[in-house]
Structure 1
Amino acid sequence: MNRPSNNSLGRPGTGRPGIRNIGIIAHVDAGKTTTSERILFYTGESHRMGEVHDGAAHMDFDPEERRRGITINSAATTVHWRGVQINLIDTPGHIDFNIEVGRALRVLDGAVVVLDGVAGVEPQTETNWRLADRHEVPRIAFVNKLDRVGARFDQVVDSMRERLGVQAIPVHLPIGAEAGFRGVVDLVRMRALLWERDDASQPVQEAAIPAELLEPAQAARARLLEAVVEQDDEALETWLRGEEPSVELLLSCIRAGVRKRAFVPVLAGSAFRNRGVEPLLDAVVDWLPAPGEREGTTTDLAGEPLAALAFKVVADEHGSMVFVRLYAGRLRRGDSLLNTSTGRMERAARLYEVHADKHVERDELVAGEIAGVVGFQDTLTGHTLSDPKHPVQLESIAVPEPVIHLALEPRTKADQQGLSRALQAMLREDPSLRLRQDEESGQTILSGMGELQLEVAVHKLHERFGVDVVVGRPQVAYRETIAREAELTHVHRKQTGGPGQFAQLTLRLEPLERGAGVQFESRIVGGAIPREFIPAVEAGIRRMAEAGPASGYPAVDFRAVLVDGAFHERDSSAMVFELAAGHALRDAFAKAGPQLLEPVMAVEVITPTEYLGDVIGDLHRRRGQVRGHELRGTATVVDALVPLKEMFGYIGTLRALSSGRAQYTMQFDGYQVAPQAVAELVAA
């Protein structure tokens, strides 16, 4: 298959030269990876199309991804379009791997949000959208799969406005529907772009707008102009005079609005059928910001002292490659940098431009680039690297708390030796995985964001590291908290013949709102407890809170106030006060009405309408709270909150209820107080 030429559908010079750092984000199965594969082909990065369904996608190069047909790891690649370097990150759509989306968005300057032309805005779309809002990432939207039965471009745009609360502005109108979808109306230049065949080697054809679409296109363009001309005084004055702004001025207005996140341009296409990819690439170059642009930076960032953020670590038997985004300065091969997160020096032995699973060695990286570095020994996700003479600290990357546990035991002695090494490598790569040893059973406990993530981790232990393990049943990550205030005075006194132990403290516990964590406050006055012992009291409280003062689960959402206390000149020490504080918290918790908190999931079930009653009934049996349901295309979507404990094995039940036709997605919503019967069952 011949590659199409790497050129623009627009006029020369409409896009700024330089770099674009973009991500492709969406709900699972909306077509992110297929869109990425088409971008690779159209930009000349690959000479053949890789397909997700046949396990040949270039961006899903991990064996586990190809086996499952889903994206698990965010994959980076570098392509070029119209003389602009595009650093592209394809992110996972499954909620279990949401850390990959979050850390990618942290270092990107723009994003393409891919939406399913039939389903519209789906749960993970919303989650990713909120993540992009948190990082203030400008976006454009690509409505994909418009060749599918039930696809409706206008309904998807409406769902963006309703569910995302965004000003979604179509810059395309589809030509044809479902199997007859063959092109788009370009509302900026008022022309038709047609792909008469699925053959990607055939260039897009420009034509006049079909007569039946001329009136809707004129109305849509009027709405487009009204929405975007206010971004530029000249364009606004021209529009108010009843004249048409030039194409260049209109492109500039859209670019300014995208950069300010005033609106989101919406494009149309079908990546699988090779329709709409070239206009999407043009939109990336024309409208998404270059490095520094959205912050309004006009200085030469390459001339500033070096500052970089590590956002991903990939470990193998040869060592680790750390993916970094350079925010300022230049990084040359062999340079020594300061990791300001650890205080240690690191050396960049080799630099690589990354093309999915292929790497091209570079001598130098400049500000704005995303690349891989080999040689860093102690750098992890979220660490800042800087010029040793000009240390800076960049905002780190938030890591979600795990909600599910697995107990792992090595199958043989040989596996026992390799298990620790393999798990440490996996934790270095994925900070959303957590590891601990159960003090009672001695088992290794691996924690994560969902069943699929842990299942993939166990499979990786075997396939990649050659370690076989015996796996226990998934366990819910419960928490505990208090229902009311309580105050208690605890005295720790021990005499052993030599120096004794003495500590007295009065502790008051106060319940806090969900998500507040553990807070400590000292109100000691008059030296009732020496100042140097106060940190030990806090350490003892936090250690007991982590161990679980009531049921053995981490305690959260309370404030511990140190009200009063007493000490002995000889028999008191920091260690004794730390020990006493832990006992005091345990006893105070018992007085404060301990409660068990269980993780609750936001569940969305998509089912044929004839099975709606059975689906809702089953959710109720699982202690689910159905918040509503609505028609989406030919199916009904049920929105519910269900405790995670009740969702184990749900897919099998759902398939049986719906003859295999229903599907579901879920994501963590928050912690809620578990019913007494559940708390008693868990404690038994």
Structure 2
Amino acid sequence: MSEARSQLPTSGGPTSNGPTSNGTAEARITAEAARRRTFAVISHPDAGKSTLTEALALYAEVIDEAGAVHGKSGRRGVTSDWMEMERKRGISITSAVLQFAYRDCVINLLDTPGHGDFSEDTYRVLAAVDAAVMLLDAAKGLEPQTLKLFDVCRTRGIPVLTFVNKWDRPGREALELLDEVEQTIGLRPMPLTWPVGVAGELRGLVEVETGEFRRYTRTAGGATRATAELVPADVIGAEEPQYWEAAQDELALLQEIGAAYDEKDFLTGAATPVLFGAALNGVGVARLLDALVELAPAPEPREDAGGDPRPLEASTSGLVFKVQAGMDRAHRDRMAFVRICSGRFERGMVLTHAATGRPFATKYAQAVFGQQRTTVEEAFPGDIVGLVNAGALRPGDTLYSTDLVEFPSIPSFAPEHFAVVRGADAGTYKQFRRGIEQLDSEGVIQVLTSDLRGDQAPVLAAVGPLQFEVVTARLESEFRAPVTLEHLGYSITRRTDAAGAQLLSGQSEVEVLTRRADGALLAVFSNKWRMETVRRKFEDLVLEPLPAGSER
């Protein structure tokens, strides 16, 4: 087994070390951006995101052997799941970036958490990508989290490719799944490949456009690349007449209803290309990788906060969409993940932090492959760059070089779970405070304060209860600060003002908390009936909803 080989293809054209005209420099930025493919892998939990992410890296030949999500048979964990808690539980808790080269393109692949408790992290990732791969479990089809993510992609104008996974296991009929996609979310399916054999009895895949059939020889547990054999139609038809004839009938039906690929419909979000396969066994993974290179859009001008598109050739700018500490225990540094939106980024250049107007040095700029890092000298629109020692940066911040720009901030969700956190050991209070501040600035959890409890006992506010587990685990492992949690019986959050805080003071089953990130006053209630009772009591009370998508 070897380490990841994350070398990127050599860029062509002149570099900043020699004289170039503005026109030449802009042309190079445009050309380099056209080679970028930046996409996220998203789905409901257990659909196989991390397995697919690992398989894509395997078939791009940047790793020699794929890891196992649950560490089976002595294999290492998957590259994108590097946290100890992720490997123990077999779920993705935090998003991960894998940058590698494939077919003269630079791939920026982002694996995301599927569990709804970590949906804020997934939504932040979707602010940084140009396309998404949505996984469907062949047996389960569209699930609640899948539906939510489709809606987010549609709202943000993100084209979606669909990969029907686990076709090597019993599941539903292919046509039934496509009909569910169209009827439930209004996306017209456009199959690029089609399975020969029902789910659980997969014989191979047909290329819809050409009719070519490929049979796959799987490897043990999908650890290494499977081989694909091109089999003539008459041979497979003789060997598997029942399955072959059924597939031909289904393909004829697809042609009759006009399910052929249409680039415009894909890019505008009216339709989704569909591929079938089994990520664990490598079936259809290489075809998906090729489809992403050929079909997924390259970076385009990104709208700033005022709604004006910023040209790719404009001066350097980037959006911070994730901040992560604890990736390297030897250094205990903090990394901000920045999507380059325009211009040519050079390591060492001084950028301006739009939120504060202060300079930010980029001496320690890195390309990331899971937990592994390599120094990056330059980057272009679409690239994800990790900036180390980014103590001042938060998700949603903008960095720019010369021309002032600020991109729309990243949404923050209304919390539904609350708990008071206290240090379990008075001797580790400093570590406790440092850890709480760190996790708050990363966006791992929202940290609130109240006059009732004081600053020594902050209130943690979470979208889902698993976030509390991450917080307690990281405080203990990274900061050596064990904590105790006291769960609070609140479930409804509304924004209020100073006058509202006065009115609510002393009310039962109600509390006003201050969000540390921005000083916003949040009124929390035990349930919606209690909130309505209080609202009727105080006619002038200001209570503004914080739906998913409210601004930080």
Q: TM-score, normalised by structure 2?
A: 0.79
Letter in 2 for 1:49: A
Pair 1:322-2:346 in alignment: no
- Residues 474 and 172 from structure 1, CA distance in 2 versus in 1: closer, same or farther, beyond 3 angstroms? farther
Q: Please tell me whether residue 204 in structure 1 is matched to residue 220 in structure 2.
A: no
Q: Would the alpha carbon gap of residues 597 and 123 (structure 1) be closer, same or farther in structure 2, given more than 3 Å must change?
A: same
Partner SS state of residue 178, structure 1: coil
Report the alpha carbon displacement of residue 594 of structure 1 after superposing the two structures with TM: 8.5
- Taking the aligned partners of 1:385 and 1:546, their CA distance within structure 2 comes to 40
Q: Secondary structure at the match of 1:103?
A: helix
CA contact (8 A) 1:187 1:217 kept: no
1:78 to partner: Cα distance: 1.1
Give 1:168's aligned residue: 189
Instruction: Give 2:284's aligned amino acid.
Output: G
Which residue does the alignment assign to 1:552? 510
2:118 aligned partner:
97
| Match of residue 292 from structure 2 | 284
Structure 1 residue corresponding to 2:498, chosen from 537, 540, 546:
540
After superposition, the CA RMSD in angstroms is 3.4
CA distance in 2, matches of 1:221, 1:157: 10
Other-structure match for 1:380: 394
SS across alignment from 2:162: strand
Match of 1:360 in 2: 374
CA change 1:590–1:131 in 2 (3 A) is same
Against the structure 1 CA distance between its residues 440 and 85, is the aligned structure 2 distance closer, same or farther, given a 3 Å change threshold?
A: closer
**Following TM superposition, by how much is the alpha carbon of 1:162 offset from its aligned partner in structure 2, in angstroms?**
2.3
- Aligned-pair distance for 1:138? 0.5
1:390 aligns with 2:403: yes
Aligned twin of 2:530:
none
Q: 1:347 aligns with which of 338, 354, 361?
A: 361
Write the letter of the residue equivalent to 1:450: G
Q: How many residues align?
A: 477
Relative to structure 1, the CA distance from residue 546 to residue 193 in structure 2 (aligned partners, 3 Å threshold; closer, same or farther) is farther
Which of 116, 137, 144 pairs up with 1:123?
144
- In the alignment, is residue 467 of structure 1 matched against residue 500 of structure 2? no
1-side partners of 2:310 and 2:417: how far apart?
46
2:44/2:114 contact within 8 Å kept: yes
Moved more, 209-218 or 44-53: 209-218
- Pair 1:334-2:348 in alignment: yes
Q: What residue is the counterpart of 2:43 in the other structure?
A: 26
Contact (CA 8 Å) 1:260, 1:294: kept in 2 or not?
Answer: no
Find the aligned partners of 1:545 and 1:159 in 2 and give their Cα distance.
49
Match of 1:450 in 2: 464
| Cα distance between partner residues in 1 of 2:302 and 2:362 | 29
> CA shift at 1:185, angstroms?
1.1
1:73-92 alignment to 2 at 5 Å?
Answer: 73-92=94-113
Contact 2:60–2:102 (CA<8 Å) still a contact in 1? yes
Query: Does 1:421 pair with 2:421?
Result: no
Please report how far the alpha carbon of residue 367 of structure 1 lies from its aligned counterpart in structure 2 after TM superposition. 2.2
- Provide the residue aligned with 1:236 in structure 2: none
User: In the alignment, is the contact (CA less than 8 A) between 2:92 and 2:113 conserved in 1?
Assistant: yes
The aligned residue for residue 263 of structure 2 is: 255
1:405 corresponds to 2:418: yes
Judging changes above 3 Å, is the alpha-carbon distance between structure 1 residues 430 and 398 closer, same or farther for their aligned structure 2 residues?
Answer: same
Taking the aligned partners of 1:182 and 1:208, their CA distance within structure 2 comes to 13
Q: Which amino acid aligns with 1:33?
A: S
Q: Aligned letter for 2:204? A: G
The structure-2 alpha-carbon separation of the partners of 1:302 and 1:215, relative to structure 1 and needing over 3 Å to count, comes to closer
Distance of 2:291 and 2:147 partners within structure 1: 22
Residues 1:219 and 2:236 are matched in the alignment: no
**Structure 2 matches for 1:261-660, cutoff 5 A?**
261-292=269-300, 303-316=313-326, 318-387=332-401, 389-430=402-443, 432-437=445-450, 439-440=452-453, 443-479=457-493, 540-541=498-499, 543-544=501-502, 552-554=510-512, 590-592=537-539
CA contact (8 A) 1:37 1:58 kept: yes
Give TM-score, length-normalised by structure 1.
0.64
Does the CA contact (< 8 Å) of 1:255 and 1:286 recur in 2?
no
CA contact (8 A) 2:189 2:259 kept: no
Change in 2 beyond 3 A, CA 1:479/1:141: closer
Q: Deviations over 1:492-550 (max 9, x none)?
A: xxxxxxxxxxxxxxxxxxxxxxxxx55xxxxxxxxxxxxxxxxxxxx632654786877
1:347 Cα offset (Å): 1.1
CA contact (8 A) 2:302 2:310 kept: no
Contact 2:38 2:107 in 1 (8 A): yes
User: Any idea what the Cα deviations from partners look like across 1:272-311, whole Å, max 9, x if unmatched?
Assistant: 111010111111011110111899xxx9956421121010
Q: Deviations along 1:370-414, whole A, 9 cap, x unmatched?
A: 111124341111001112x31011111001021111122212212
What do the CA deviations read for 1:552-590 (whole angstroms, capped 9, x no partner)? 3349xxxxxxxxxxxxxxxxxxxxxxxxxxxxxxx9974
Identify the structure with bigger relative contact order (alpha carbons < 8 Å, sequence gap 6+): 2
Alpha-carbon contact 1:354-1:372 (below 8 Å) kept: yes
Q: Which residues in structure 2 correspond to 1:133-148 (within 5 Å)?
A: 133-148=154-169
Contact 1:407–1:473 (CA under 8 A) maintained in structure 2: yes
> How far does residue 43 in structure 1 lie from its aligned partner after superposition?
0.5
Question: How high is the sequence identity, in percent, across the aligned residues?
Answer: 27
Residues in 2 aligned to 1:374 and 1:455: alpha-carbon distance in whole angstroms: 26
Question: Which position in structure 2 is the counterpart of 1:241?
Answer: none
Contact 2:139–2:171 (CA<8 Å) still a contact in 1?
Answer: yes
Give 1:20's aligned amino acid: R
Q: CA offset at residue 181 of structure 1?
A: 0.9
**For the structure 1 residues 342 and 281, does the alpha-carbon distance in structure 2 shift closer, same or farther, using more than 3 Å as the test?**
same
C-alpha separation in 2, matches of 1:289 and 1:149: 34
Residues 630-674 of structure 1: CA deviation (Å, up to 9, x unaligned): xxxxxxxxxxxxxxxxxxxxxxxxxxxxxxxxxxxxxx999xxxx
Q: Does 1:52 align with 2:69?
A: yes
Q: 1:431 to 1:300 in 2, by over 3 A?
A: closer
Q: Which has the larger radius of gyration?
A: 1
Name 1:246's counterpart in structure 2: none
Q: Cα–Cα, structure 1 residues 368 and 17, in superposed 2: closer, same or farther, change >3 Å?
A: closer
Structure 1: tracts of 5 or more residues without a match: 4-15, 229-252, 481-516, 519-538, 556-586, 601-667, 671-684
Moved more, 377-386 or 407-416: 407-416
C-alpha displacement at 1:2, in angstroms?
Answer: 11
Which whole-Å CA distance do the structure 2 matches of 1:124 and 1:300 have between them? 32
Point out where structure 2 has 5 or more consecutive residues left out of the alignment.
4-32, 238-244, 304-308, 514-533
Tell me how far apart the structure 2 counterparts of residues 17 and 588 of structure 1 sit (CA, whole Å): 54
- Between the aligned partners of 1:302 and 1:588, the Cα distance in structure 2 is 49
**Which whole-Å CA distance do the structure 1 matches of 2:159 and 2:545 have between them?**
36
| Contact kept in structure 2, 1:320 and 1:376, CA below 8 Å | yes
Moved over 6 A (4+): 545-550, 593-600
